[in-house]
Chain A
């Protein structure tokens, strides 16, 4: 097996320059959505009538700021593109000083555009999607809160600042998954997502602790200057802790189980948080911490392996589910697996991880919103077995969805083709086995996405009685069209390796490595593998009718996929069940032993005094006997002392 990447392509985060004229838009980018959230959540019913408009407006303004910032740094030299802004000292004790600061560099720049751009489109879409929900204003408040927190995450200049955004998006995700709280399943899914993310936070907490213990600081700029002095073991430990954090947030194995349940939330939430932005925060964290990962090939290998495992698991689950949102969720897991794999490949992969992240943001948001549009037209049914032949009923949704479909399977020319192809190429160059897994995953992607398309838009109609599918209103279809266009054209970012060059101040420049086969041949192979997947799906699902109820006699693979590869069953059996039993035992221990010890002492004294007081029997004569006995004892004692 070849070494994943040679050591020493380390690029420190240059101490960022002062923001200057960029300070205002930089602050506004976060402040606007935060302000929107505050107004909408504190304003109560007063804001019901115009709340959704304010929500869209703040994000749109934030997008404008992002564009201004982006254009500003585009006009600068590559070495001058990191901009820092220290707002105030958050806290400082002893030698540890944490600044509440922002760091704007090419990596944050792309994220800013993705978050505010796609986020803005999803806000607009939600106006239509949530139109009949009486708590729509609050929904927009939460969405704005999410956008602010996510921007904080990608703009923070310190690990503690990342933590702030990290938990902020977790909170928004919690609130939005459980938005329809009256559904017990939604409330449970929200809690589950938060708790599993907290497991990941163990990694971030301890990671911050270890980074501080090692370097005496937690700011990106300072840490990156010092990493060359640390021992390999410590770096591996930091890397693995950050990986744990990433696994929680990005639903990577073994902390993946929350993502499928998270589909209980309204569909725009799934599109924004659980597809385009928040779940990719783990990838961001790893790429941002490249100055740590570059010194530990072990941790990088672990990252790549976790990514590969998850990309296969996600694809597997996607093949078996009948719920359209869960198929897409499985596919999200799988695609993030690709990104994590790429991030684990080191300098050669970072840029492509981010590239795929952006492209995935476009096409997956597109498809989730498309799925939302389908549900909107079918009375919120999510079972694909109740769809069929929808392409005539909702042509715009069908067309835009098709763009997303072609992008995700990697149809030549669409954006997913460019990004996924690059990841497979780099993986094959560095580690043949991981590369082959990624290639196989691409084929499976072709299979399950084709299955989804065929079951939803083609074949005969299997609609429920009384359901009359119709096209969604303009306010929903226009965002779909924009996203579809981006799915088609996003690949342009790779023109002339633009994105690789643009990101190189952050990710470093990879030495050129020859892939095992010429790149063109690899692309052809990848397309062929996908074509095989598509063909199989077509054979299975197009040539015979899809039953309206899910068949029960299915292979073990399908059963496993339907049960999400037993992730929940495993957690229940290993953690939840024993935990509950342990808790019952502990309650008994607390009541019986700890409290019982104290109360037992008390009751022992009570019992003893109950015995002793019987001596007080009221008979004068027995008291007199006591007196006499006592006097005799004293006398005896005196005698003994005197004689002795």
Chain B
């Protein structure tokens, strides 16, 4: 079985995620796009693991999942807090950390 379709799919998913992060303003959507990118890279890792015939890639994918889960916890909490204080989930409104 060729690995190419999996890699192409992974690239497409990553691109969709990246474009989403760059263009969307809603923090939740941006967050989901980040998740999409992480999963795209997981797909690529697993694919290459399969191609290479060892488990390195799968282990890396597990790490990514764990990190992503932790990130979701922290990230959603931050978004919630910002939404509570500022009544907005737009990432552009939270631009106080600038020059």
- Provide the residues of chain A in CB contact with B18, threshold 8 Å: 628
- Provide the residues of chain A in CB contact with B94, threshold 8 Å: 620
Closest Cβ of chain A to B43, distance in Å, is 18
CA distance A628 to B33 in the complex (A): 14
Q: Say yes or no: A616 contacts B98, CB within 8 Å.
A: yes
Per-residue contact bits, chain A 608-627, to B (CB 8 Å; 1 contact, 0 not): 00000110111111001100
In this assembly, does B67 line the interface, its C-beta being within 8 Å of a C-beta of chain A?
Answer: no
Closest Cβ of chain A to B78, distance in Å, is 12
Q: Say yes or no: A621 contacts B98, CB within 8 Å.
A: no
Q: Say yes or no: B21 contacts A624, CB within 8 Å.
A: yes
- Provide the residues of chain A in CB contact with B98, threshold 8 Å: 616-618
> Which of the residues B22, B25, B91, B99 comes within 8 Å of A628, measured between beta carbons?
B22
Q: Say yes or no: B22 contacts A624, CB within 8 Å.
A: yes
Q: Say yes or no: A618 contacts B22, CB within 8 Å.
A: no
Q: Say yes or no: B99 contacts A621, CB within 8 Å.
A: no
CA distance A628 to B97 in the complex (A): 20
- Identify which of residues 14-48 in chain B touch chain A, using a CB-to-CB cut-off of 8 Å: 18, 21-23, 25, 30
Q: Say yes or no: A617 contacts B22, CB within 8 Å.
A: no
> Which of the residues B22, B91, B97, B99 comes within 8 Å of A625, measured between beta carbons?
B22
In this complex, the interface size class of chain B, counting residues with CB under 8 Å from chain A, is: 10 to 19
The answer to whether A621 and B91 touch (CB under 8 A), given A628-B18, A628-B22, is: yes
- Provide the residues of chain B in CB contact with A617, threshold 8 Å: 95, 98-99
Overall SS of chain B's interface: loop
Closest Cβ of chain B to A181, distance in Å, is 61
- Provide the residues of chain A in CB contact with B92, threshold 8 Å: 619, 621
Number of A residues near B (Cβ < 8 Å) is 11
Closest Cβ of chain A to B16, distance in Å, is 14
Closest Cβ of chain A to B80, distance in Å, is 17
CA distance A617 to B95 in the complex (A): 7
Among A613, A614, A616, A618, the most chain B Cβ lie within 10 Å of the Cβ of A618
Closest Cβ of chain A to B61, distance in Å, is 20
In this assembly, does B73 line the interface, its C-beta being within 8 Å of a C-beta of chain A?
Answer: no
- Identify which of residues 412-435 in chain A touch chain B, using a CB-to-CB cut-off of 8 Å: none
Q: Say yes or no: A614 contacts B21, CB within 8 Å.
A: no
- Provide the residues of chain A in CB contact with B21, threshold 8 Å: 621, 624
> Which of the residues A618, A621, A624 comes within 8 Å of B96, measured between beta carbons?
A618
> Which of the residues B91, B95, B99 comes within 8 Å of A614, measured between beta carbons?
B99
Closest Cβ of chain B to A624, distance in Å, is 5
CA distance A628 to B17 in the complex (A): 12
CA distance A339 to B42 in the complex (A): 111
The answer to whether A618 and B97 touch (CB under 8 A), given A624-B22, A628-B18, is: yes
Q: Say yes or no: B91 contacts A616, CB within 8 Å.
A: no
Per-residue contact bits, chain A 600-642, to B (CB 8 Å; 1 contact, 0 not): 0000000000000110111111001100100000000000000
CA distance A311 to B87 in the complex (A): 102
Closest Cβ of chain A to B91, distance in Å, is 5
- Provide the residues of chain B in CB contact with A620, threshold 8 Å: 30, 91, 94-95
CA distance A614 to B98 in the complex (A): 8
Q: Say yes or no: A613 contacts B22, CB within 8 Å.
A: no
- Provide the residues of chain A in CB contact with B25, threshold 8 Å: 621
Closest Cβ of chain A to B74, distance in Å, is 15
CA distance A582 to B45 in the complex (A): 77
- Provide the residues of chain B in CB contact with A613, threshold 8 Å: 99
Among A620, A625, A628, the most chain B Cβ lie within 10 Å of the Cβ of A620
Beta-carbon nearest neighbor of B23 in chain A: A621
Per-residue contact bits, chain B 75-99, to A (CB 8 Å; 1 contact, 0 not): 0000000000000000110111111
CA distance A616 to B99 in the complex (A): 6
> Which of the residues A618, A624, A625, A628 comes within 8 Å of B95, measured between beta carbons?
A618
Among A613, A614, A617, A624, the most chain B Cβ lie within 10 Å of the Cβ of A624
- Provide the residues of chain A in CB contact with B97, threshold 8 Å: 618
> Which of the residues A614, A616, A621 comes within 8 Å of B22, measured between beta carbons?
A621
Closest Cβ of chain A to B89, distance in Å, is 13
Q: Say yes or no: B99 contacts A619, CB within 8 Å.
A: no
CA distance A30 to B22 in the complex (A): 96
Beta-carbon nearest neighbor of B21 in chain A: A624
- Provide the residues of chain B in CB contact with A625, threshold 8 Å: 22
CA distance A624 to B94 in the complex (A): 15
Beta-carbon nearest neighbor of A612 in chain B: B99
CA distance A624 to B21 in the complex (A): 8
- Provide the residues of chain B in CB contact with A628, threshold 8 Å: 18, 22
Among B18, B25, B97, B99, the most chain A Cβ lie within 10 Å of the Cβ of B99
Beta-carbon nearest neighbor of A621 in chain B: B22
CA distance A617 to B96 in the complex (A): 9
CA distance A360 to B31 in the complex (A): 109
CA distance A506 to B97 in the complex (A): 92
Closest Cβ of chain A to B92, distance in Å, is 6
Closest Cβ of chain A to B32, distance in Å, is 14
CA distance A402 to B91 in the complex (A): 110
Closest Cβ of chain A to B13, distance in Å, is 15
CA distance A616 to B96 in the complex (A): 11
- Provide the residues of chain B in CB contact with A619, threshold 8 Å: 91-92, 95
CA distance A619 to B25 in the complex (A): 10
* 22 cross-chain CB contacts under 8 A: A616-B98, A616-B99, A617-B95, A617-B98, A617-B99, A618-B98, A618-B99, A619-B92, A619-B95, A620-B30, A620-B94, A620-B95, A621-B21, A621-B23, A621-B25, A621-B30, A621-B91, A621-B92, A624-B21, A624-B22, A628-B18, A628-B22
List 17 additional contacts besides A619-B91, A619-B95, A624-B21; criterion CB under 8 Å: A614-B99, A616-B99, A617-B95, A617-B98, A618-B95, A618-B98, A618-B99, A619-B92, A620-B91, A620-B94, A620-B95, A621-B23, A621-B25, A621-B30, A621-B91, A621-B92, A625-B22
A→B interface (CB under 8 Å): 613-614, 616-621, 624-625, 628
Top-8 shortest CB links A-B: A618-B98, A618-B95, A613-B99, A616-B99, A620-B91, A624-B21, A617-B98, A619-B95
